[in-house]
Amino acid sequence: MRAILRSVVVVLVCFVLTAPASARQVIDYKGTTSAPRFHKVLALVIKKDNGNRVMRQWGALTTLTCEDTSTQRWGVVFGWGVLGENGDFDAEFNDAENGFYLHVAGSIRWGRGSGTLKFNRSILTADGQDAQLCTSGDLTWTVARVIPGGAARRRSVPDGVGFLKLRIRHGVTEVVKLIQP
């Protein structure tokens, strides 16, 4: 009888000690866009102790095609905040000073996510005489949950790729880093 009681106590103690550690969970997602190449998507979601899920980071690599048929490769990253009840979010950033517009909407659930993406950038033509629009066009994206394990993630931006990192504070979007391609 004492052996059974000890076993029950040990199991309960183990359960109590592991519960707080599992209450906060970091969930990685990886996927692609509907673009034919250079189209990776990453998302990092944190499930908090209170059950809220926070999108800590969403990022994509995409190619912009300009009016003069030239192309630019860009990476964009932003953090969002608390996801909606069904994992929904809708992020729109318009920065005339730096000449970009980004709209990402979708839903990230427990194992999968999907949505839409549009990234526009205004730049000068090669001769510097005129402005032109470069756009990703309307893309769809999908991600799937990545089970932890394996090698460390590579988070660097390839050579020749523009990079835009945004931060949202109190409802105001700030450009944290902008590197031209």
Residue 45, amino acid: V
Task: Render pLDDT for 92-132 as a digit per residue (tens, 0 to 9).
Answer: 999 988 899 999 999 998 889 999 999 999 998 888 888 99
Find where tokens 């005129």 sit.
130
pLDDT tens-place string over residues 124-171: 888 888 899 999 999 999 999 998 764 445 555 566 677 677 776 666
CA 148 to chain CA centroid, nearest Å: 17
Q: Is 43 exposed, middle or buried (0-12, 13-18, 19+ CB in 10 A)?
A: buried
> Which secondary-structure segment (H or E) carries 145?
strand 139-146
**Residue ranges of the domains in the chain?**
24-148+156-179
Higher pLDDT, 179 or 42: 42
CA 14/CA 46 separation, integer angstroms: 24
Answer yes or no: are the C-beta atoms of 91 and 80 closer than 8 Å. yes
